[in-house]
Amino acid sequence: MARTQLHRAMAGEITPAMRRVAERETRKPEYVREQVADGQAVIPNNHAHESLDPMIIGQQFATKVNANIGNSDTTSNLQGELRKLHTAVHYGADTVMDLSTGENLDEIREANVEHSPVPIGTVPIYEAVKRAKNPTDITHELLIDIIKKQAEQGVDYMTIHAGVLMEHLPLTDGRKTGIVSRGGSILAQWIEENGMQNPLYAKFEEICEIFAKHDVTFSLGDGLRPGCLADASDEAQFAELETLGELTQVAWDHGVQVMVEGPGHVPMDQIKDNVERQQDMCDGAPFYVLGPLVTDVAPGYDHITSAIGATEAARAGAAMLCYVTPKEHLGLPDKEDVRDGLAAYRIAAHAADVATSLPGAQDWDDALSEARYEFDWRRQFELALDPERAQAYHDQTLPGDNYKDARFCSMCGVEFCSMRIDQDARDADGKMTAIDDETDLAVSSAADVNLPPVGTHDTSHVPEEIEIDGVTFTPESHADD
């Protein structure tokens, strides 16, 4: 039987995927192997996903970003989904989850796997709902059938909400927003109507065997995650997390790679504790968080409210961030939303990597800052997180080629460009001259360099007098202001 990256790492083997990951992250292959063997990192890599360029998710590596795409009953089709996949990869998604719930699920999933260089994730319970029509009619056999088929299709990781147990459900009574995870709410309804334990929990070992065969990575879903600040860090959320910790061990015993999903909506001051609890309860399995949103009051801007929380979560140890788009809570994202959501989350991930001193992370910032100070506009665009947007914004006001090495932009204008002024204020060796009481300013070279450069203060075109509402202003009248 083909073995998983975890099996092989535990056996001391450095696989081609580990070598590739080491190259991408500038780490030693042996270090990658150790991290995978210890369950501290995962390389989602289904044997059937041939177009994949392997990547790694773990606290010790660069923070990764996932983009969700997928159709719904009302919008999108195969072409539209492939365009979204392309947009997501183009704007820097490290993994893509296909959350389709509309028509042609198999066709869309297969096309995504075939064309995607990044790992593809799914949530099999969505397909089960489509096939059973009524969620309460989902059977154990149907779930296993769907999971097996998706594993054969090449899906690299699947969200499995196996931690939503019947004994946890009453703990959600009294919440402001109940159960907000789609998978969690479907399973809760199933459990209540059928009076039986969560089928994903009951069949967990069987799912482990399927995952081990194809090397599918678990993304243990947080079906009871809080859907608003008021519900954050409650008993239901942490009871489920405890179960996810137990299931992590079961999966590892089967040689299956595991990451664990986290909330949701969490006030800023509780995020660090949430991450540390997960690390503790799940023995360091990579934490994959959705946001979290740090306030509930900004629909239309939730890529921002959640990117703030995501930065804090990644700084505290989360390994992958699931992006949120401006359409969150409002509608299905389109191409522009995917772009905006990804930009917000790549900023969050990178800001956290800089803050945690990930080796080499700040080199990017330093290179861009140098280009900025040198007024090397082309290099600045090239290095920008979203080069097309950076250039488009610049060129809106200064489109000509002659402005690509101009010592200003339209933000402050030529006269007030602080970087130009700073450079002109320095000596030829780039140093400021120290001025003290004893410096003779009359002979100081600083006195010369501080003179406004020729041409920038040309006032010859300014009229001597201007008239506003019948009142004439002259240079003298301004002196009276």
Stretch binding ligand SF4 (CB under 6 A), from 116-124, 129-137, 392-400, 418-426: 418-426
Burial class (CB in 10 A: 0-12, 13-18, 19+), 363: exposed
Nearer to ligand SF4, 48 or 398 (CB): 398
Query: What mask of x and - would describe binding to ligand SF4 in positions 144 to 173, judged by CB under 6 A?
Result: ------------------------------
CB count in 10 Å sphere of residue 313: 30
Tokens standing for residue 109: 């999933």
Q: Closest CB to ligand SF4 among 432 and 466?
A: 432
R_g (Cα) of the chain, nearest Å: 28
The least distance separating ligand SF4 from the CB of residue 422, rounded to whole angstroms, comes to 9
Q: Counting contacts by CB under 6 A, is residue 466 touching ligand SF4? A: no
Single out the segment in contact with ligand SF4 by CB under 6 A; choices: 111-119, 160-168, 220-228, 415-423: 415-423
202 vs 411, beta carbon nearer ligand SF4: 411
Instruction: State the binding string over 83-102 for ligand SF4 (x if CB under 6 A, else -).
Output: --------------------
Distance of CA 290 to the CA centre of its chain: 9
Binding of residue 419 to ligand SF4 (CB under 6 A): yes
CA-wise closest residue to 42 among 185, 186, 219: 219
Identify whether the C-beta of residue 82 lies closer than 8 Å to the C-beta of residue 110: no
Q: Which of 274, 290, 272 is nearest to 282 (CA)?
A: 274
Q: Which residues of 25-62 are buried (b: 16+ CB within 10 A; e: fewer)?
A: bebebeebbbbbbbbbbbbbbbbebeebebbbbbbbbb
Distance CA 154, CA 350 (A): 29
User: Does residue 412 belong to the site contacting ligand SF4 (CB under 6 A)?
Assistant: yes
Q: Which stretch binds ligand SF4 (CB under 6 A): 71-79, 343-351, 412-420, 429-437?
A: 412-420
Of 11, 411, 432, 435, the residue at the interface with ligand SF4 (CB under 6 A) is: 411
In the block, tokens 């301004």 appear at 478
Stretch that binds ligand SF4, among 22-30, 153-161, 234-242, 416-424 (CB under 6 A): 416-424
Rounded Cα distance, 196 and 211, in Å: 24
Q: Measured from the CB atom, is 345 or 408 closer to ligand SF4?
A: 408
State the minimum distance, in angstroms, from the CB of residue 372 to ligand SF4: 7
Query: Least CB distance from residue 386 to ligand SF4, whole Å?
Result: 18
Contact 172, 185 (CB under 8 A): no
381 binds ligand SF4 (CB under 6 A): no
Distance in angstroms (rounded) separating the CA atoms of residues 311 and 355:
9
> Which letter does DSSP use for residue 224 in this model?
T
- Tell me the one-letter amino acid at 146: I
Please, which of residues 9-68 interact with ligand SF4 by CB under 6 A? none
CB of 431 to ligand SF4, least distance (A): 20
Identity (one letter) of the amino acid at 279? Answer: Q
Q: Work out whether 417 is an interface residue with ligand SF4 (CB under 6 A).
A: yes
Give the nearer residue to ligand SF4 in terms of CB position, either 277 or 420: 420
* Nearest CB to ligand SF4, comparing residues 279 and 380: 380
Q: Give the binding range for ligand SF4 (CB under 6 A) out of 63-71, 352-360, 413-421, 459-467.
A: 413-421
Q: Which residue is associated with the tokens 């299709």?
A: 153
Of 301 and 393, the one with the shorter C-beta distance to ligand SF4 is 393
Residue number with CB closer to ligand SF4 (203 or 404): 404
State the number of binding residues for ligand SF4 (CB under 6 A).
8
Give residues with Cβ within 8 angstroms of 359, minimum separation 6.
26
Interface mask toward ligand SF4 for 390-409; x: CB under 6 A:
------------------xx
CA distance 127 to 130: 5
In whole angstroms, the minimum distance from the beta carbon of 402 to ligand SF4 comes to: 15
How near is the Cβ of 241 to ligand SF4 at its closest, in Å? 46
Q: Which is nearer to ligand SF4, 281 or 419 (CB)?
A: 419
Choosing from 72, 369, 418, 444, the residue that interacts with ligand SF4 (CB under 6 A) is 418
**Which C-beta is closer to ligand SF4: that of 235 or that of 458?**
458
Buried b (16+ CB within 10 A) or exposed e, 273-286: ebbebbbebbebbb
> How far is it, in rounded angstroms, from Cα 431 to Cα 207?
66
We find the least distance from the C-beta atom of residue 390 to ligand SF4, in angstroms, to be: 12
Q: Which is nearer to ligand SF4, 132 or 419 (CB)?
A: 419
Q: 335 in helix, strand or coil?
A: helix
If you ran DSSP here, which 8-state letter would residue 137 be given? G
- Separation CA 356–CA 359 (nearest Å): 9
End-to-end CA distance of the chain: 87
Tell whether residue 369 is a contact of ligand SF4 (CB under 6 A). Answer: no
Closest distance to ligand SF4 from the beta carbon of 391 (Å)? 14
Between 360 and 413, CB nearer to ligand SF4: 413
CA distances from 229 to 173, 176, 269, 293, 297 (A): 16, 9, 11, 8, 10
Q: Which residues bind ligand SF4 (CB under 6 A)?
A: 408-409, 411-412, 417-420
